[in-house]
Structure 1
């Protein structure tokens, strides 16, 4: 009997995770302090029937000490479909389904990755990094979420704002993907919030929370960059300047966004 040799195919590991590979129908990722909490979350999502996240395979760790997760087929990144309102609405619905699925999961657990957050009491376990690189498309539709390394207890609105940061996007046009450079951000924020079902009282806070998120993300990234590694590379590549430009852009367009959200 001839043993099957499974080749390792390097995958895009995002901004802060190296060494991510595909092996057959699985993804192998380096473990971190948050891995036990993330695996517990993913097992909970599987148990409640949420299909938009990878499953933990077997024990969750291979012989090389790497995480073993299900590979979600499809493509990631900003795509032609990303500018469409219906696609943005599907993403808003996906995030709502995910947040609802985390209900019942303990919000107090050792190992959650620290990061910027809302001042209000946590309501859900947010993904907190739902960038285009972490959303999986199939047949032109977003259906899956990957890379839960930055997941942590937070408010629904804070995770909504974090997602809109990349998908509306809440950013200076010079820093946007070319496909999203000239989109109507205020309308897209409303489309996403409508699909998610953000209530009126929270919509009134959205710009305020976005500003808090920018300020705290800047401080967190600067602190992590001081320790070196990939965070330092991101900082050296202009991450701080992009956040500062986003804050300035938000100041100019605050009334426009607010008008779309609160008629």
Structure 2
């Protein structure tokens, strides 16, 4: 039998792999997530891990298929990736529209469930590039579904655009080699075009980007119990880059709005 090895990432839970099987520590939301992933497989949505067996091992851990590929984060996506990503999210939402949510479903708490104004969908809800498997530089699958659940359509798209176009301040842009504000605005447009979001539905999208970045910064502070006495650099930086991102979007608002339409 192959040795079980720990995997990097995994978000907030422990993840390991043995052969083609990924094991993830379960939580109260795991049964709902496993049901969702089983539905996606039945619906023909192939860009998610498959459930192995009944979805849990003898230790109660989730059992999912390992997806071969690369995580490009923190480097930027090429432009071609954005229409692919938008199309992937559209097909995901189409597939989950027929999902019968279990009556006893529990979803992981997340601030994004209580904001937004678009149609309610069942989404991935953690669509950063660190959760996207790529091959040949193009996105081919979403992993780490622990935050999946109900979300407004516009919130899922705002999160995906913000994190994948990396609408971050100049220090990060220089460090990881991001394009200009205009280039990143075009990437946002390509993702929304790939999704098929109407021009009408894009009204106020820049405001939502700013709002989401600010709320995410606040959520990081709450989750890490940051106070005036905090000295741990990791949570402080997590809050800082999000707040600076909101300021960057404000400063580049005219460029973003012009390109988006």
TM-score bracket for this pair, using the shorter chain length: 0.7 to 0.9
Determine whether 1:16 maps to 2:15. no
Q: 2:237 is matched with which residue?
A: 238
Give the equivalent residue in structure 2 for 1:88. 82
Where do 5+ consecutive residues of structure 1 fail to align?
none
Q: Counterparts of 2:198 and 2:118 in 1: how far apart (Å)?
A: 17
Contact 2:16–2:23 (Cα < 8 Å) also in 1: yes
More displaced stretch, 180-189 vs 152-161: 180-189
Q: Which residue of 2 aligns with 1:40?
A: 35
CA distance in structure 2 between the partners assigned to 1:177 and 1:163 by the alignment: 21
CA apart distance, 1:45? 0.4
Q: What residue number does 2:189 align with?
A: 190
Q: Give the 3-state SS of the residue equivalent to 1:74 in structure 2.
A: coil
Shift of residue 79, structure 1, vs aligned partner: 7.6
Find the aligned partners of 2:138 and 2:244 in 1 and give their Cα distance. 30
Structure 1 runs (4+) deviating above 6 angstroms are none
> Quick check: 1:54–1:72 contact (8 Å CA) kept in 2?
yes
1:104 to 98, 117, 127: 98
For the pair 1:50 / 2:45, whether they are aligned, the reply is: yes
Is residue 216 of structure 1 aligned with residue 212 of structure 2?
no
1:159 counterpart (144, 150, 156): 156
- In the aligned structure 1, how far is the partner of 2:91 from the partner of 2:177? 25
TM-score (norm 2): 0.88
- Looking at structure 2, the residues matched to 68 and 218 of structure 1 have their Cα atoms a distance apart, in angstroms, of 32
- Provide the residue aligned with 2:170 in structure 1: 173
Instruction: Indicate the residue corresponding to 1:136 in structure 2.
Output: 133
Would the aligned equivalents of 1:83 and 1:180 in 2 still touch at CA under 8 Å?
A: no
Q: Contact 2:118 / 2:153 at 8 angstroms: preserved in 1? A: no
Q: State the shift of 1:130 in Å.
A: 1.3
Q: CA deviation at 1:235?
A: 5.4
| Equivalent pair of 2:78/2:137 in contact (CA under 8 Å) | no
Q: 1:121 to 1:248 in 2, by over 3 A?
A: closer
Q: Structure 1 residues 182, 236: CA separation in 2 closer, same or farther (over 3 Å shift)?
A: same
Aligned pairs, number: 252
Specify the SS of the correspondent of 1:95. helix
**Aligned equivalent of 1:226:** 225
Confirm whether residue 27 of structure 1 aligns to residue 22 of structure 2.
yes
What RMSD in Å do the two structures reach over aligned CA positions? 2.3
Q: SS of 1:136's equivalent?
A: strand
For residues 138 and 109 of structure 1, do their structure 2 counterparts lie closer, same or farther at Cα, with a shift above 3 Å needed? farther
Structure 2 stretches lacking a partner, 5+ long = none
Residue of structure 2 equivalent to 1:145? 142
